[in-house]
Amino acid sequence: MYKALNYWVYGGFDGQKTPYEFIDFAKEMGLDGVELTFGDIIKEDITADECTKIREYAKSKNIGLRTMASGAYWGLSLASENEEERRKAVAFTRRYIEVASLLGVETILVVAGATRVAWDPSRPIQSYKSVWERSLATLEEIKGDLDKYQVNIGLENVWNRFLISPMEWKFYLEAVNHPRIGMYFDIGNCEFQVPAVDFIEILGDKIKAIHVKNFKGEDSCGNLHGFGDNLLDGDVDFAAVKKALEAMNYQGTLTAEMIPFSRLPDLVLPDYELAVDTAKKLKSIL
């Protein structure tokens, strides 16, 4: 299975390491690919020439660039009831798709919307119905870009109080009804409510890409501190996940995304030692 590492643990949120350094690191660690991040290390105004350089450098090292992620959607919602913000989110996503195509990326991570962002009280609270309807309408606008650039959107299951169970995801993706829009499944994010295997069995080929992390639920359902800095320490049954993926002949990506919220309020990235440890453990479990 294709194993990769997300940029943030290695390069931080402020782009402290170049894409070229990250590609070299992945090669050194024996990984299959890297997941660059859009809006920080990959800027919105990146040129086509620079994209070509990054793509060709990765190719020369035999390192894939199959997915790309972004943290922008927590403050820029595709389902926003503020039309100006929604339009900015659409423009950002269209550029994201275009840059992904230039880099040779297959799937980009997108968040459909949020009914509440619990850790950011400045963000508005929306009804589930509003997020459902507005996100679907906005994705409809973007479908043409996906066809034009031959890029997939993977909508991630995140702590946005929206699309919590695998059946909700099934109905939602059926409503989206586009072959290039599926799920970017995070096997750690779901663990406090529904085991990862249930998502895999129900959603099957709707899963475009996978994020790998662990979660330890304590004190009822746990909190952000449940996302620790040891990939092997938590409630995820990796053996069952691997068996379920093999049963569906999964050919997508498996990308470790380690953001150790267990370290809050003093979370600092990048963390080279954590990147090394995560890469080694990812190769050992899947």
> What would the pLDDT profile of 82-108 be if each residue is shown by its tens digit?
999 999 999 999 999 999 999 999 999
Q: Name which of 103-107, 201-205, 220-224 the model is least confident about.
A: 220-224
pLDDT of residue 118: 87
Res 220: pLDDT: 56
Is the CB of residue 42 less than 8 Å from the CB of residue 69?
Answer: no
Look at residue 55 in the predicted model and tell me its pLDDT. Answer: 98
35-69: per-residue pLDDT in tens?
999 999 999 999 999 999 999 999 999 999 999 99
Percent of the chain with pLDDT over 90: 94
Residue 219 pLDDT exceeds 90: no
pLDDT of residue 54: 98
CATH (one of 3.40.50.1000, 3.30.70.20, 3.30.499.10, 3.20.20.150) for 2-285: 3.20.20.150
Query: Where in the chain are the domains?
Result: 2-285
| Average pLDDT for 140-164 | 97
> Quick one: pLDDT band at residue 221, thresholds 50, 70, 90?
low
